[in-house]
């Protein structure tokens, strides 16, 4: 959160750079290979939180490194499109918190999709995801940052393919509370609300919906 991703996204225009938030070692590796293979040179902005360096699930088999390429969007590998009612879109390390809850609660009605590339917005790749989950009832953007930070403001401007709701912390002048226990409570609340939006209420904001925080 302290990387202030919203500042980079507010300056993103005219293909001036790429903003990436990778969640696997293989995708980070292929991202670097792709960037070096370009016949042109533009800045590459990469968000790599320290916690993923030691996260037991943030790993890639050797085959993922020796084959394939960078994936702008990573689909949920376990989701059954016929059962999915909610598609959670996220970026970065919050994915692993969502994954843990999904596995613990055995939620096969929710697909967790990662946007590895934020700018330029991977519209074609996202449309493929939406076509796959065409029977889903809701699409929700989940972020750890407060509503006025993170990628939400950028998505409000650029994301037009689906009606998108938000699960995030309340508006704040600081990216974090400063108290570890309170931070963990807020984080757990975010994950619960993402998987149970119908129990939280969703007051509308201009063109979008925000699922309020009740901690």
Q: How far apart are CA 31 and CA 22, in angstroms?
A: 8
C-beta of residue 97 within 8 angstroms of C-beta of residue 187: yes
Mean pLDDT score of the chain: 89
Give the pLDDT score at 15: 95
C-beta of residue 95 within 8 angstroms of C-beta of residue 50: no
Give the pLDDT score at 125: 97
pTM of the model: 0.88
C-beta of residue 89 within 8 angstroms of C-beta of residue 117: no
Q: What is the dihedral of CA 156, 157, 160, 163, to 10 degrees?
A: 10
Phi-psi group of 23: left, alpha or beta (phi > 0 → left; psi -120 to 50 → alpha; rest → beta): alpha
What percent of the chain has a predicted confidence (pLDDT) above 70?
90
Per-residue model confidence as pLDDT tens digits over 118-160: 999 999 999 999 999 999 999 999 999 999 999 999 999 999 9
Give the pLDDT score at 203: 34
């Amino acid at each position: 959160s302290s990387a202030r991703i919203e500042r980079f996204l507010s300056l993103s225009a005219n293909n001036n750079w790429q903003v990436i938030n990778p969640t696997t070692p293989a995708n980070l590796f292929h991202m670097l290979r792709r960037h070096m293979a370009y016949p042109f040179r533009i800045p590459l902005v990469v968000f790599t939180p320290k916690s993923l360096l030691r996260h037991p699930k943030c790993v890639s088999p050797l085959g993922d490194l020796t084959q394939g390429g960078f994936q702008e969007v990573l689909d949920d590998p376990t989701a059954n499109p016929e059962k999915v009612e909610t598609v959670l879109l996220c970026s970065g390390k919050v994915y692993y918190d969502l994954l843990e809850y999904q596995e613990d609660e055995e939620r096969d009605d929710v697909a967790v999709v990662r946007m590895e590339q934020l700018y330029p917005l991977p519209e074609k790749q996202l449309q493929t995801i939406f076509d796959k989950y065409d029977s889903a009832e809701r699409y929700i953007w989940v972020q750890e940052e407060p509503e006025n930070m993170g990628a939400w403001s950028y998505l409000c401007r650029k994301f037009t393919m689906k009606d998108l709701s938000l699960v995030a912390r309340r508006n704040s002048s600081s990216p974090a509370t400063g108290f570890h226990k309170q931070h963990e409570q807020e984080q757990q609340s975010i994950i619960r609300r993402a998987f149970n939006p119908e129990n939280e209420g969703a007051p509308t904001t201009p063109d979008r919906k925000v699922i309020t925080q009740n901690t």
